[in-house]
Structure 1
Amino acid sequence: MRRRSFLATLPALLPAAAQAAGSSGAPTPGTPSPGGPLPVSPGQGGAHDPSRVDSLPPFQPDGATIFDRPDVHAGDRPAGASFATRSAAYGCSGAAGTAHPLATLAAIDVLREGGSAVDAAIAANASLGFLEPTSSGLGGDCYAMIWDPKLRKVVSLAGSGASPRGLSLQTVRQRARNNAIPPLGAMSVSVPGALDAWWSLHKRYGRLPWARLFEPAIGYAEGGVPVPQIIGHYIRRNLAAFARPGSGVEETANARHTYAPDGEAPIEGDVFRNPDLARTYRAIAQGGRDVFYDGPIADTIERYFRRIGGWMTRDDLRRHRSEWLDPLVTSYRGVEVYGMAANTQGLATLQMLNILETFDLRGMGFQSAASIHHQAEAKRLAYEDRARYYADPHFAKIPIEWLNSKEYARQRAMLIRPDRILTPVYPGQAPSHGDTTYFTVADADGMMVSMIQSNFRGMGSGLVADGLGFMFQDRGQLFSLRDGHPNLYQPGKRPFQTIIPGFATRDGAPWMSFGVMGGDMQPQGQVQIVANRIDYGLDIQAAGDSPRWHHEGSSQSMGEDPPGLGPLGLLRLESGVPAATRQALAAMGWPIGPSDGGYGRYECIEHRTNKGRRVYAAASEMRADGMALAY
């Protein structure tokens, strides 16, 4: 639960009680009278022993709207931004920020043992595959950007898997729904790239033995850990979606066995185990990546997909390799901001920043209607290009230099009007030649790792191979089925990817390793972090805690947008956005949607120098269960 929502609990109950009392003035059963006890849940009984914690009535049931009070905000802080939830964590020797406290602790333990930032990132990611299965796991893909202190530059690795070679475009079109690949089931599955990415990173930058990096995850999965609030919420939502009639998932027994072994999905505080995943991790720790891609695990995967009528084979897995790449880069007000290349949407962040650099965001004012309007318009323009041009560069020629140029950004920026919404909006005409998890780690030698890993939509496809303990991604849904589109489905091709790590340098030195999780929110979120830090001078924790906006909709969807959006899409604003700003945006014509929690989740490490000594500041996300630590 968000801190500000929790603070709203008691005040929110009072109006409900008064309304329920009606003219009689007597409260109805199950509602508190002013100053009286909290309501008792149905079936719980009317009395409880206040000396026993486990006998207290639940006062924050999942999804309870009585705790959503936009007029109640975080408590008063004596220093820093008023809306910040906490201070950044500081240290000189290392830092880590992940979406689960135990994954952060695993990374810190590896660093303190002498491991590199890459070692710690792998240990954290393996742990998250168990701890946060709603966003990550062995069945997904992985991307990383690394500040290499020896090379003095940012390098990147793309761990993205391809579609099965035995699945033809004809078959995909025959089984498509509304001219799109189904979001769940075997047709949406592409080769998992995460493990090979870990292996490739470790071969180049690892210090500790490979097997050591899996010890925390194996221990967590075998012994069990309590499920946090948000992760538990999304496990239940995902399992319900897989079991829904017509979901398209070929079989759900394995998913239920893995994630609801007692017949019920875990709730907050339940101790959850995954012994199947622990056994899989042990095999990988002992046998390396080939056990997965060209060994017993590959055989199990092939047999499973043959059994359910899918297409993934051992040959598909054996062919997979990660790819070292030079990242894309642009300058933004004197800071170099990097974007992931390959088949990702990393370029969208850079395009948005290039457009926004032509405007005075600081002069417009923090959280002002003008600032959000220009940012959202930059998003709409960049995402038209994203939907038109982004694809696997091994299969399509993408005009990257033109899309990332300052001149093109100036042309696009001239389309934005300060007082009204641009309509219609189209992609530029190229010259003829041409629920994800994020985490970051830094070590004592100055290496910084920005890493992101995902099964795409929530837990993924709904499919868990027999006895392996992890779910396969559904990334293949993002292929296009439109003839002539660069992202058109093809066997052995990598689908368009939403997951993108972020990185920024300043004066030739590393500055920020950061990321914002969540599908199409990722470039939008990254831009808001950069603007909050550079244009508005917020520290890295406040930059993440600041209220966010999220625009949905494009004239050329990449398969992510919900149905029924109009030509202007939908602009969603968090509750912390000022009421005057909200009203002014609506007056401009923006369709304002309800806040749905889809504003991404963020981690960041900032590199500083203080009197000649390296200092790390680490920040985590108040919208998730995570934690950042430094030492």
Structure 2
Amino acid sequence: MRNLELPGRSPVHAPHGMAATSHPLASQAALDMLKAGGNAMDGAIAAVAVQCVTEPGSTGIGGDCFCLYAPEGRDKVIGFNGSGRAPAAADIAYYRDQGVTEFSRMSPHAVTVPGAIDGWTRLHADHGRMPLADVLAPAINYARHGYPLSSRVASDFEACAPLLRTDENAARIFLPGGKPPKVGEMHFQKELADTLEAISTHGRDAFYEGEIAQDMVDYLRSKGGLHSMQDFAATKGEYVTPITTDFRGYTVHECPPNGQGIIVLLLLNMMSKLDVIDGPVTTDRLHLELEACRLAYRARNLYVADPAFADVPVEDILSDDYAQRLVDAIDMTRAQEPPADIPLTRHRDTVYLSVVDKDRNACSFINTLYMGWGSGFVAPKSGVVLQNRGHGFSLEPGHPNCIAGGKRPLHTIIPGMLTQKGRAVMPFGVMGGHYQAFGHMQFLTRMLDYGMDIQEAMDAPRTMVDPDDDAVEIEGTVPQDIQDALTARGHRLKAPERPIGGSQAIWIDWEQGVLTGGSDPRKDGAAMGY
């Protein structure tokens, strides 16, 4: 329990239903669905649709989604991969001939075909109760009639204003009067409202065929993209079998590659071999976590890709032997820069939400554009912000994550689910690009190893090894003496440009019949229940 004399949030408790999202209007939309007779899937889709309006820098219908769903709270967790693919015409030889050596975030070649709407409509049709028009109505209302900017969202608008000015459609919609709106100002996305309404009436095909798809394809091709109407029409997500590991008496479920959920499980396997030392924010503990991060993310970059195009050695990565060899490589006195390659034996912005209903259907849902406002491209007639997930592809021939037609890139977004004794006990997730796998580990270990409650585990200071330059991003709430000690061990520390990540989770107490939710203070959101 937190010190009630200090500023902070308490966990939220309720008996019937709960939603935890990064925006209060989204949490409220989810609760309204539950109270109207909808289930957790209805609530999750209603909430994420609202977030696509009210948090346009973090997510959008031009992005991707992943979901873990536990019907009636059982441990037979359903996974769904709603990540989009590169255009069929994408070919490494083409990019080489064009002199393209990397995909910048604002390149049309970084735009993969959006998978979110296909995912929403599939999941709704298979698991929802309410009419799709009712589920999307709150988002349509906020897009058409306006929503007020909250603090973190206004900060995101301000930070991304230079990007938004590079695209005439983005500037027109998101910089009204030539400048980003301020906290408390109303903002409107009327083109997006019309697009959402078409989807609510005509379903998936309204987005992937006809005028809306043509608008996106024409705009991308005008920028030099290789996208086609056939690419959009062929978009189809897939149900997947979650991968798992056991940690401290619980089973942790993650989506399999092409996402980085496998790295969460690898990190937990490593932590299970280590003694729980002093406290969660101490020099030794943070050094240990950072070294584990370096080694696990090195494995991610070497092996994780779309399994339809590459041999991803899931069993080897999750083997007891591999976790032990990574742990053995950690030097408690010194940081490894760069991290060592430990071969296998066989030779960035997002929204996450949790919803649980009265029947204990539990939904763990994540939706993304990747970087803030994705590629920065906005389709002119439909108002769809287009993601830049292809930024994560490699242009190195033979690399598992090398771009190819119809291939899905390595994905950072990962929903999580915790089960025990045949029941779901916590849908959870962490936002923040590369941080997410490391963030899952930090959140779970702070709860299960150090006894923090669901909110305290989110509030605690965060660190992260930046995979791009191997420096350590460290929040200013980490005490200075600890920062100095980490520097003395060889870690190169830097302040993060933005607070590290965000998180949501709901704990299900089956004996008491109580739901307990937490929502990250680094965002504007809230856990709400009834």
- Shorter-chain TM range is over 0.9
The one-letter amino acid paired with 2:485 is A
Q: Does 1:123 align with 2:46?
A: yes
Q: Secondary structure at the match of 1:364?
A: coil
Partner of 1:259: 174
Q: 1:408 to 1:222 in 2, by over 3 A?
A: same
Q: Does 1:181 align with 2:96?
A: no
Percent pairwise identity: 36
Larger deviation, residues 375-384 vs 421-430? 421-430
The one-letter amino acid paired with 2:326 is R
Distance in 2 between residues matched to 1:187 and 1:423, nearest whole Å: 32
Q: 1:141 to 1:367 in 2, by over 3 A?
A: same
Distance in 1 between residues matched to 2:99 and 2:283, nearest whole Å: 41
Larger deviation, residues 146-155 vs 220-229? 146-155
The one-letter amino acid paired with 1:528 is Q
Q: Secondary structure at the match of 2:32?
A: helix
Distance in 2 between residues matched to 1:604 and 1:288, nearest whole Å: 29
**From 502, 505, 525, the counterpart of 1:601:** 502
Q: Does 1:194 align with 2:135?
A: no
Partner of 2:514: 615
Q: Secondary structure at the match of 2:178?
A: coil
Structure 1 length-normalised TM: 0.81
Q: Does 1:99 align with 2:22?
A: yes
Partner of 2:430: 516
Partner of 1:391: 305
**From 292, 298, 319, the counterpart of 2:234:** 319
Which ranges of structure 2 fall in alignment gaps of 5 or more residues? none
Q: Secondary structure at the match of 2:252?
A: strand
Q: Does 1:293 align with 2:293?
A: no
Query: What displacement does 1:506 show?
Result: 2.0
Q: 1:422 to 1:185 in 2, by over 3 A?
A: closer
Partner of 1:109: 32
Bigger RCO (CA 8 Å, 6+ sep) = 2
Q: Does 1:450 align with 2:371?
A: no
Query: What displacement does 1:243 show?
Result: 3.5
Distance in 2 between residues matched to 1:295 and 1:333, nearest whole Å: 51
Larger deviation, residues 523-532 vs 333-342? 333-342
- Tell me, yes or no, if the aligned pair for 1:94 and 1:443 is still in contact at 8 Å: yes
The one-letter amino acid paired with 2:231 is D
**From 308, 311, 321, the counterpart of 1:407:** 321
- What pairs up with 1:518-537 in 2 under 5 angstroms? 518-537=432-451
Distance in 2 between residues matched to 1:82 and 1:200, nearest whole Å: 47
Distance in 2 between residues matched to 1:168 and 1:484, nearest whole Å: 13
Distance in 1 between residues matched to 2:66 and 2:96, nearest whole Å: 29
Query: What displacement does 1:204 show?
Result: 1.3
Larger deviation, residues 179-188 vs 514-523? 179-188
Q: Secondary structure at the match of 2:379?
A: coil
- Tell me, yes or no, if the aligned pair for 2:73 and 2:362 is still in contact at 8 Å: no
Distance in 1 between residues matched to 2:486 and 2:27, nearest whole Å: 39
Q: 1:481 to 1:140 in 2, by over 3 A?
A: same
Q: Secondary structure at the match of 1:459?
A: coil
Distance in 2 between residues matched to 1:358 and 1:81, nearest whole Å: 35
Distance in 2 between residues matched to 1:478 and 1:146, nearest whole Å: 27
Partner of 1:489: 403
**From 4, 9, 12, the counterpart of 1:89:** 12
Partner of 1:550: 464
- Tell me, yes or no, if the aligned pair for 2:325 and 2:342 is still in contact at 8 Å: no
CA RMSD of aligned residues (A): 1.8
- Tell me, yes or no, if the aligned pair for 2:41 and 2:128 is still in contact at 8 Å: yes
Q: Does 1:228 align with 2:228?
A: no
**From 296, 302, 306, the counterpart of 2:221:** 306
- Tell me, yes or no, if the aligned pair for 2:73 and 2:424 is still in contact at 8 Å: no
The one-letter amino acid paired with 1:624 is K
The one-letter amino acid paired with 2:392 is L
Partner of 2:284: 370
Distance in 2 between residues matched to 1:294 and 1:232, nearest whole Å: 34
Q: Secondary structure at the match of 2:227?
A: coil
Which ranges of structure 1 fall in alignment gaps of 5 or more residues? 1-77, 245-251, 554-560
Q: 1:218 to 1:626 in 2, by over 3 A?
A: same
**Corresponding pairs, count:** 529
Distance in 2 between residues matched to 1:166 and 1:373, nearest whole Å: 45
